[in-house]
Structure 1
Amino acid sequence: MKKREKIENVMTKDVQTVNITNSLKEANDLFNKHHIRHIPVVSGDKLIGIISQTDILRISFGNTFGNDQEGSDDAIFEMLSINQVMKHSPETVSPEDTIKSAAEIFTKREFHALPVVKDEKLVGIITTTDIIKYFVDLY
């Protein structure tokens, strides 16, 4: 096992993103279509926030009443914006940082994804799942 394995070797490079002009419904559709749980929010190439599937679930009725409440969720999605729900200025890592450094952040914090930024440009995302897959592949 390489002790200094870089994040760029395990991060997701083809990242789904939204911007603050997208709707929450569009973000929710991306979560469902791509089976992902975190979406960076960008302005051009610059990261301005991150929204998680958990953020969407907190404001929706889907978890409470099952999937029959889609119309109610749509109404909530229209009342709120991505800007109101997202985490602003999220913690980030660099592609040159180590997998160990990302893992240490995840063990100390209450989130499971870190946008990867180089020269103020979003270049990827690393999640706890990426790190687990890395270790599974090693063993």
Structure 2
Amino acid sequence: MKKRAPVSQIMSSDVISVNLTQSLREVDTAIKDQHIRHVPVVSGDKVIGMLSKTDLQKISFINTVEGDNLTSAMYDSLSIEQVMTKDLVTVKKDDTILDVATILSSNEFHALPVTDAGKLVGIVTTTDLVKYLIDQY
């Protein structure tokens, strides 16, 4: 196992991202259509937040009690900025896989945006780390 392998070796570089002008409905569609769980929120090239499938499920949870139309109403009444995680931790593409694993294992999130010179270049998830570990054996 390489102790100094950079995160760029395991990250996904074809990142689906959204910006603040988009709707939560668009985010929900992207997550479902692309079979992803995390979406970085960007302003230009800068990462300013993160939305997850779980964030959207929290909004739509009330559906189980109130009916299907409520999710649509909630998506229309809330903005990405109101729902996204703002206190974001990012990593650089040259940070080591060990550094990333340490960050993820000591926090309650499961994905990190990867940047290069402040620009979003990828995303790394706990699944990426598990796959990397499996490949080592």
Aligned to 2:53: 53
Deviations 1:12-59 (A, max 9, x none): 000000001110010011110111110000011111111111111111
User: Where does structure 1 lack aligned partners over 5 or more consecutive residues?
Assistant: none
- The percentage of counterpart residues that share the same residue type is 49
1:30 corresponds to which residue?
30
When normalised by structure 1's length, the TM-score is 0.93
RMSD: 1.6
**Match in the other structure for 2:84:** 86
1:134 matched to 2:132:
yes
Q: How many residues align?
A: 137
Quick one: distance in 2 between partners of 1:5 and 1:39?
A: 25
Q: Which runs of 4+ in 1 moved over 2 A?
A: none
Out of 79, 104, 107, which is 2:105 matched to?
107
Q: CA deviation at 1:71?
A: 2.4
Per the TM alignment, residue 89 of structure 1 is displaced from its structure 2 partner at its CA by 4.2
Find out whether 1:65 has 2:60 as its counterpart.
no
Residue 18 of structure 2 corresponds to 18
Matched to 2:124, the amino acid is: I
Name the TM-score, length of structure 2 as normaliser. Answer: 0.94
How far did 1:8 drift? 0.4
